[in-house]
A and B are shown apart, each in its own frame.
Chain A
């Protein structure tokens, strides 16, 4: 692997111990995967911001780096933490647990990480441009940056993302190379399906695509229109049920203006048709529990945008969340602030729903609540919450989820 003179000096320790360790990790990773050289990145996004992920090992690593004077070299944002920093008592987080999360926050702050505490950094201060190389982790953010924006990042792991942030570099292999970004598996949507995209369609399609694709690159043909939030929901589901880091949606995403462009002139290795039957089968698989009484509802995974907040407020206006049900809407501080200014937060809170800011059901310890059955409109939550929250999970559309919070019951489709 070719190293520049500057990189060699960093490895010799000229820029301090944190950069030396960080670059040596990145170099070994590059050598294992045949990278020809390092790529300079414009930003990093770090997932080991959550105590649930980082644990005591993470605190040890960050403490060591901070004591050696580590500072990020490029714009770096943080993934969610394991507490709502403003309201953790309200969410019944144990004090000792919250204190460890606060310790991580202090350490990241000392390294110069922007405390966005969000899985959607691209709705805050980390907005990549087409073609830029990035050092990101957080599977849902990686798939959004690669697919919707056309920036270039591999799925970095916790702490490797910090190594990228400290050095401003990543080894150039995988999705940094144009020839590794061409589509591999083609999903053709039945025309009758494309006529009626309901709420739950995009997360369900993403879940299906992830299951089939694994870590290959899917191309979806037949979607006529998709909003920012629908693409966000689709990608997050595909990255959870599979390990999709890049997808192409013909006519929608920037590297797939045509089918030919999506496959870069090559033939798909596999072709699949998706119709109403496949979507219905996937929706059934996404639920581990039956319809009926629920005690917690999770929306805002990935973190809700301002447009989603508008929609939740409209659905909750003048309504009351059912006694014994918790409706938590997950988002980041930037969207929360705007939702307060625009009056959405007030409407939401008057209904008895809570904003859960800077974290989510998945990242936060919820044992004290004793939840049994969760309803969600998110494919990622549907995949993870049976393990992370330990509940049964019923997947339904956004409107159906808000309705479930109001009536206390969810009807399985």
Chain B
């Protein structure tokens, strides 16, 4: 990949900045019955990330799905410091954005969310990439 392609622009959906390692999936994800909030590990047996920890990661997946109870498990993970630290979606579902807004309001933790990149995130981002995510400007940079 050329140096020029290392910054992508999308839409900032929830504010904050984070620099860390990416975990990338091609499958939609539901946090409710999807992660163990005590550890941050994916517990959905039908999901390709089953057994992977999302703790303190940049979680890249197409879109969120599932229950209106989603922030229950998400905020429990935030409280246990086991939640993903940033999220990159193709199209962010309000349910996921609400999780980040609530984490900021009630636990003073910012979880930046970016969607609508000018490239398909699953084509340009790989698990293990080091990323800088800015949820205010919507910019994502691959650091290496």
Contact = CB atoms under 8 A, between A and B. Distances in A.
B72 A155 contact: no
A55 B94 contact: no
Given A154-B94, A160-B102, A215-B93, A58 B68 contact: no
A158 interface: yes
A139 interface: yes
B44 to A, nearest CB: 8
Interface in B95-135: 95, 97-99, 101-102, 105-107
B71 A160 contact: yes
Contacts of B141: none
A24 B105 contact: yes
A60 B109 CA distance: 15
A162 to B, nearest CB: 10
A261 to B, nearest CB: 27
B81 to A, nearest CB: 12
Interface in B53-110: 65-73, 75-76, 78-79, 93-95, 97-99, 101-102, 105-107
A56 B106 CA distance: 13
Interface string A27-66: 0110011000000000000011010111111101100100
Given A155-B95, A157-B95, A157-B99, A56 B72 contact: no
Nearest to A48: B72
A32 B13 contact: yes
Nearest to B45: A387
Contacts of A54: 72
A174 B94 contact: yes
Residue in B32, B78, B93, B101 with the greatest tally of chain A CB atoms within 10 Å = B101
B40 interface: no
B14 interface: yes
B37 interface: yes
Interface in B25-69: 32-33, 37, 44, 65-69
A243 interface: yes
Q: Do most interface residues of chain B lie in helix, strand or loop, or is the interface mixed?
A: helix
B114 to A, nearest CB: 12
Nearest to B97: A32
A141 to B, nearest CB: 9
A159 B72 CA distance: 8
B82 to A, nearest CB: 11
A156 interface: yes
Given A47-B68, A139-B68, A387-B33, A53 B73 contact: yes
A138 interface: yes
Contact of A53 (B69, B78, B107): B69
Contacts of A139: 67-68
A137 interface: yes
Contacts of A58: 72, 75-76
A54 B13 CA distance: 24
Contacts of A29: 94, 97-98, 101
A142 interface: yes
A243 B66 contact: yes
Interface of B: 13-14, 32-33, 37, 44, 65-73, 75-76, 78-79, 93-95, 97-99, 101-102, 105-107
10 contacts: A28-B14, A29-B98, A50-B69, A53-B69, A57-B107, A64-B106, A137-B69, A142-B68, A160-B101, A243-B65
Interface of A: 21, 24-25, 28-29, 32-33, 47-48, 50, 52-58, 60-61, 64, 137-139, 142, 154-161, 174, 214-215, 243, 384, 387-388
